[in-house]
Amino acid sequence: MADLEGLLQRYRSLVPSVIESVLGGKRILVVTHIDADGLCSGSVVFSALMRKGANATLRTVPDLDPKTVTDLAAQNYDLYIFVDLASTLISEIEAALGGRYLVIDHHEISEADLGNRAVVNAWAFGCDGGKEACSSAMAYFFAVALDPANTDLSTLAVVGALADRQDSGPGRSLTGLNRVALEAAQRRGLLSVSNDLMFTGRETRPVHEAVALTSNPFLKGLTGSKDAVLALLHQSGLELKDGGAWRTISSLSDDEKRRLTETIAGALGAERGATEALASLFGEVYTLHFEDPFTPLRDAREFGTLLNSCGRMGVPSIGVSVCLGDRSSALKGAMKTLSEYRSGINKALDAVTSDPARIEQHGRLVLVKGEGVVDEKLLGPVISILTGSPAFKDKVVVGSASSRGDALKISSRVGDLYDGSVNLGLIMRESAEEAEGVGGGHAMAAGAKIPSSKAESFSRAVAARVGG
Ligand code: C5P
């Protein structure tokens, strides 16, 4: 059970010194991660500080390592706030910054670090930080503690949680502290919740495009194949146009929606896990009322994908600008990035799924060799999508891609239907250490970087830990 009161109390105990820094014109640096949850949470903390008149700067980093900590410390800010980062480097931060820092995070950390007053971590407040509290939700409660008027920032908490795939409650709902933030957004009339088909672009795209864009769940033969979906839907007799204009999924009647899912069920046929894949197409849909209906921002899941694309494609600042409210040039740039991101992912998926030598199955472990065909920036989303596919929903999927300096980037995910318990964060950390690399992350999603020469011993170490 989430201890919301405990969390708010902790923040309230920290707020006076933050306010003192703000009023004293002290230089504050907010450092956040480049994924969507990082962009949302960093923007929430930054907005809350700026609203108080702070002299604050927001910076994004792909990862925090000891060298980055030293470089940041050399810039001599008066206060550092790390968001969605840093949890494994608390002692380095303590050594470099003394009392001048705060860490707001949801990654699982050691008991000793949980006891540090400057570390506000979801796990210390009765929450599974991988499922019930993203960093954006943690940042949102910081913002509210700073000023109760900041409840408008709740929508970013919802976007961050969905982008981090924390919609793991019944019907793909948000739970825990994420839910508390969601309810605040509902109360302010910023967001509504409905139960519906959850195709990507359900409000904005022609029906066939929405089906082809949907990768969670991965619909074999349909995801990424607009033309194949169009041909299939023509056969089904669904009215795809209204006058000259394409219809969207949200404009279909209940009967038509049923026909659509039956048609997709027919196409997926006897594919293993197809029934579960279809069932997972229904669930909680989160609509942001103040966003333009014809942008990806309207649907909170798509908003999250847009931000992830900015982070992964090397333009996190565009994502931050969108989070901070830019709906002109930044949004245009983000939408272009999203389209490039999707086409990069589709090409990578095609390359790995069309070459049997690239996918090895060892019992419940699947190894995906993306070297040379999957850009390391896109490895995480590619492995997430494959893990959501009917064939691998009950597996642990570990992918690799070439990285700079003769290294391999590793991404790993656990399928929703995996029968057993596994902590990938731990598996990645231990296996990477044995292979002279570094690794870590959450129980259900984690990653690593290892020397290329250690690929085989790393795979063996992972296989031994995942087991039969
Ligand atoms: O890169 P990828 O999406 O596969 O990362 C999955 C999760 O693992 C992310 O939450 C990331 O922050 C975490 N991770 C980590 N340490 C690493 C690599 C990834 O904590 N060395």
CA of residue 448 to ligand 1 center, whole Å: 7
Give me the half-sphere count of Cα atoms (radius 13 Å) on the Cβ side of residue 249: 28
Q: Both 21 and 143 in a single domain?
A: yes
With respect to residue 180, please indicate whether it lies within any of the assigned structural domains: no
Q: Both 308 and 377 in a single domain?
A: no
Q: Both 362 and 320 in a single domain?
A: no
Q: Both 145 and 45 in a single domain?
A: yes
Distance CA 120, CA 124 (A): 8
Residue 382's CATH number: 3.10.310.40
Predicted pLDDT at 290:
96
CA of residue 445 to ligand 1 center, whole Å: 7
Q: Both 146 and 294 in a single domain?
A: no
- Helices and strands (H and E) in the chain: how many: 18, 15
CA of residue 137 to ligand 1 center, whole Å: 19
Test site for ligand 1: of 428, 433, 444, most ligand atoms within 8 A of the Cβ: 428
Burial 393-408 (b: 16+ CB within 10 A, else e): bbbbbbbbbbbeeebb
Of the residues 131, 155, 170, the one at which a domain ends: 170
Cβ proximity of 215 and 223 under 8 Å = yes
Test site for ligand 1: of 68, 411, 414, 423, most ligand atoms within 8 A of the Cβ: 411
Predicted pLDDT at 270:
67
Predicted pLDDT at 183:
98
Q: Both 418 and 341 in a single domain?
A: no
Of the residues 152, 170, 188, the one at which a domain ends: 170
Which residue's C-alpha comes closest to atom 16 of ligand 1? 440
Residue 134's CATH number: 3.90.1640.30
Question: For residue 257, what are its two tokens?
Answer: 């929606």
With respect to residue 339, please indicate whether it lies within any of the assigned structural domains: yes
Which residue's C-alpha comes closest to atom 7 of ligand 1? 446
With respect to residue 176, please indicate whether it lies within any of the assigned structural domains: no
Distance CA 340, CA 51 (A): 34
Burial bucket for residue 170 (CB in 10 Å: 0-12, 13-18, 19+): exposed
Structural domain count, the chain: 3
Strands 101-105 and 119-121, how do they pair? parallel
Q: Both 235 and 341 in a single domain?
A: yes
Which ligand 1 atom sits closest to the C-alpha of 412?
4
Q: Both 129 and 224 in a single domain?
A: no
Identity of the residue numbered 310: C
With respect to residue 443, please indicate whether it lies within any of the assigned structural domains: yes
Angle between helices 376-387 and 329-353 (to 10 degrees): 70
Q: Both 327 and 239 in a single domain?
A: yes
Assess whether the previous peptide bond of 293 is cis (omega < 30° from 0): no
pTM summary value: 0.91
Q: Both 278 and 240 in a single domain?
A: yes
Cβ proximity of 314 and 46 under 8 Å = no
Q: Is 84 helix (H, G, I), strand (E, B) or coil?
A: coil
Q: Both 289 and 422 in a single domain?
A: no
Predicted pLDDT at 271:
66
Of the residues 135, 170, 205, the one at which a domain ends: 170
With respect to residue 181, please indicate whether it lies within any of the assigned structural domains: no
Q: Both 205 and 128 in a single domain?
A: no
Q: What is the CA radius of gyration of the chain?
A: 22
With respect to residue 175, please indicate whether it lies within any of the assigned structural domains: no
CA of residue 434 to ligand 1 center, whole Å: 18
Predicted pLDDT at 86:
67
**Host domain of residue 414:** 355-466
With respect to residue 186, please indicate whether it lies within any of the assigned structural domains: no
Question: For residue 221, what are its two tokens?
Answer: 């033969």
Please state whether 355 falls in left (phi above 0), alpha (psi between -120 and 50) or beta.
beta
Predicted pLDDT at 41:
98
CA of residue 344 to ligand 1 center, whole Å: 20
Question: What is the pLDDT tens value at each position of the chain, 468 positions in all?
Answer: 899 999 999 999 999 999 999 999 999 999 999 999 999 999 999 999 999 999 999 999 988 888 999 999 999 999 999 999 967 789 999 999 999 999 999 998 889 999 999 999 999 999 999 999 999 999 999 999 999 999 999 999 999 999 999 999 999 999 999 999 999 999 999 999 999 999 988 888 899 999 999 988 888 889 888 999 999 999 999 999 999 999 999 899 999 999 999 999 888 876 666 777 777 788 999 999 999 988 999 999 999 999 999 999 999 999 999 999 999 999 999 999 999 999 999 999 999 999 999 999 999 999 999 999 999 999 999 999 999 888 898 999 999 999 999 999 999 999 988 998 999 999 999 999 999 998 988 899 999 999 999 999 999 999 999 975
Which residue's C-alpha comes closest to atom 1 of ligand 1? 380
Distance CA 292, CA 406 (A): 45
Q: For 328, list phi and psi in degrees, rounded to 5.
A: -115, -100
H helices present in 354-450, as ranges: 376-387, 424-434
Query: What are the pocket residues of ligand 1 if the criterion is a CB atom closer than 6 Å to any ligand atom?
Result: 380, 411, 438-442, 445-449
